[in-house]
Homo-oligomer: A and B are copies of this chain.
């Protein structure tokens, strides 16, 4: 290890540099999307905003779509981290608590960067590679299905797949719509009430 004290850093240096460039580009994409909307997010503008030449942009992302995919994936990863954490927390808790926590987490996740979430949801045409970026729901579905499996004793007999579909789709829609289109619902008490209602919706269905 000591033989190559300069080599390794050099290589790392360039890896770090690359990583930084990539990061800067994704960040810049997010910033422009939020600030100006998808229309204005040209690759030239993104490069400029990132302080990266257009040539470098295309070194790392072979198309504009690739950039957006990367951003969506990053965003989904962040949302899912919140959800994972919540489910971890309530693994041992009774279903009522767990579902409530999950709903709260869904709201929290949508609040991580609501403007970005909205642009990603509403302005990005689901075309080409974007056609199947349903990341969040698919993963959340599997996660919740497994959770229901582990809580089988507490719920009525269910087609787990169908139930997970119904629950996750509903929770996602309710929290998404509330956070993005009904900000008035999300005052402190409002949010409390919304969590109550959504949890009741799901629990009434599962029990």
A residues near B (Cβ < 8 Å) are 37-39, 122-127, 134, 137, 159, 162-163, 165-166, 169-170, 172-174, 177-178, 181-182, 185, 193-194, 197-198, 200-201, 204-205, 207
Contacts and interface: CB of A to CB of B under 8 A. Distances in A.
A182 B181 CA distance: 26
Contact of A125 (B124, B159, B166): B124
B182 A174 contact: no
30 contacts: A38-B125, A38-B127, A39-B125, A39-B127, A123-B125, A123-B126, A124-B125, A125-B125, A134-B181, A137-B177, A162-B194, A165-B174, A165-B185, A166-B174, A166-B197, A166-B198, A169-B170, A169-B173, A170-B170, A170-B174, A170-B201, A172-B173, A173-B174, A197-B205, A200-B205, A201-B204, A201-B205, A204-B204, A204-B205, A204-B207
Contacts of A201: 166, 170, 201, 204-205
B159 A182 contact: no
A187 to B, nearest CB: 13
Most buried by B among A169, A182, A194: A169
Nearest to A38: B125
B177 A169 contact: yes
Contacts of A39: 125, 127
A85 to B, nearest CB: 24
Given A162-B193, A182-B165, A197-B166, A37 B127 contact: yes
